């Protein structure tokens, strides 16, 4: 595929790769989110449905996009009863995933900012810490906003489409953590960076269920700022010890039967020898000849081998 892209210098909206490449959001939800984020500050006080109508998004398409944004933590709503008894719905649309507590803190912060500076009553006491955000993680501070995204680093196996089975299984476990906790949402590229450390767990005999439990148990109460840094720390610090390799038991070989010595057969004919299996005194040929003569004598005497005379 050929690509021709020119970075705009004005009238543009910065969009995170986590939103553009989100695996759960459909195209309507992404376009609606980016449209609202690009509005001026004085034009973002209308309901979300009105902006969806401007994009030609109505009915079930808008309801589906709204549902996906809510499930992924981008849209939060509060329905409250006003002073005159009328019910009012307030919406908060963020370009990052927020928990319910973080969204409530961001809502309180937006309400405080909405008050004009000259009319705000000075706060008594020292400055309080911010409820949402604080400082950006180191990984986000080091990212550069380039006109063209840097090429993804692929190994030879990823280029040729031959992902090793252990790495593919590890990536699947990492990408499924977002269903346990929203703070553990990872992109495909982030999961690929951590897959090697997680595959080492699987090679040491840890099942995928135990690995998922080790990564999602005992999460911080105040939330996770960087899912990549948190998971990398747990994968390295909680790595179990390698199992000692015990040699496989060798199957016992059956004892070889002792070979008996040759014995001279006292039967008729030329002198010959045989190797007995038990306590035989004659060879098989002599025993067969003796049994045949005995049976023939019984028939000559008129008695069958079963003890009855033949008719």
Domains, in order of start, for the chain: 17-118 (1.10.10), 157-237 (no CATH), 263-289 (no CATH)
d(CA 173, CA 167): 10
Q: Is the dihedral of CA 278, 282, 286, 290 positive or negative?
A: negative
Would you state the pLDDT for residue 256? 52
Residues 206-242 have pLDDT tens digits of: 888 888 888 888 888 888 888 888 888 888 888 888 7
| Helix residue spans in 72-180 (DSSP H) | 100-113, 138-141, 156-159, 165-175
Per-residue pLDDT band for 118 (boundaries 50, 70, 90) equals very low
186 φψ region: left (φ > 0), alpha (ψ -120 to 50), beta (else): beta
Cα-trace Rg, the chain: 42
Would you state the pLDDT for residue 239? 84
Would you state the pLDDT for residue 29? 92
Would you state the pLDDT for residue 257? 54
Inter-residue contact 308 to 302 (CB < 8 Å): no
Please say if the pLDDT value at position 26 is more than 90.
yes
Per-residue pLDDT band for 27 (boundaries 50, 70, 90) equals very high
For β-strands 272-274 and 263-265, DSSP reports them as: antiparallel
* CA distances for 120 relative to 42, 106, 114, 115, 129, angstroms: 20, 18, 10, 6, 19
Locate the DSSP E strands across the chain. Answer: 75-81, 87-93, 263-265, 272-274
3-class SS at 89? strand
DSSP-derived secondary structure for 26-59: -HHHHHHHHHHHTS-GGG--S-HHHHHHHTT--T
Q: Which residue has the higher pLDDT, 185 or 118?
A: 185
Residues 141-180 have pLDDT tens digits of: 444 444 444 444 444 444 344 557 778 888 888 888 888 8
Q: What is the pTM of this model?
A: 0.37
């Amino acid at each position: 595929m050929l690509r021709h892209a020119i970075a705009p210098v004005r009238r543009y909206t910065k969009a995170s790769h986590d939103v553009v490449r989100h695996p759960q959001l459909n195209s309507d939800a992404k376009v609606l989110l980016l449209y609202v984020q690009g509005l001026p500050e004085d034009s973002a006080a209308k309901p979300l449905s009105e902006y969806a109508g401007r994009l030609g998004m109505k009915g079930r398409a808008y309801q589906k996009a709204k549902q996906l944004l809510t499930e992924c933590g981008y849209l939060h709503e509060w329905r409250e009863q006003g002073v005159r008894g009328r019910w009012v719905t307030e919406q908060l649309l963020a370009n990052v995933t927020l928990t319910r507590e973080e969204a409530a803190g961001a809502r309180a912060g937006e309400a405080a900012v909405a008050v004009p500076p000259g009319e705000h009553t000075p706060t008594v006491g020292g400055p309080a810490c911010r409820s949402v955000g604080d400082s950006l993680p180191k990984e986000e501070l080091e990212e550069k906003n380039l006109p063209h995204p840097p090429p993804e680093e692929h190994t030879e196996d990823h280029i040729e489409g031959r992902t090793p089975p252990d790495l593919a299984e590890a990536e699947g476990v990492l990408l499924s953590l977002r269903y346990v906790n929203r703070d553990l949402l990872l992109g495909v590229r982030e999961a690929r960076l951590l897959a090697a450390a997680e595959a080492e767990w699987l090679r040491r005999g840890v099942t995928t269920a135990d690995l998922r439990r080790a990564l999602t148990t005992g999460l911080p109460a105040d939330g996770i700022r960087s899912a990549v840094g948190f998971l990398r720390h747990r994968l390295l610090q909680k790595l179990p010890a390698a199992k000692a390799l015990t040699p496989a038991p060798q199957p016992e070989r059956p004892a070889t039967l002792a070979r008996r010595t040759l014995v001279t057969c006292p039967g008729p004919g030329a002198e010959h020898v045989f190797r007995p299996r038990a306590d035989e005194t004659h060879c098989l040929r002599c025993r067969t000849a003796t049994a045949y003569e005995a049976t023939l004598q019984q028939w000559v005497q008129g008695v069958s081998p079963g003890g009855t005379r033949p008719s």
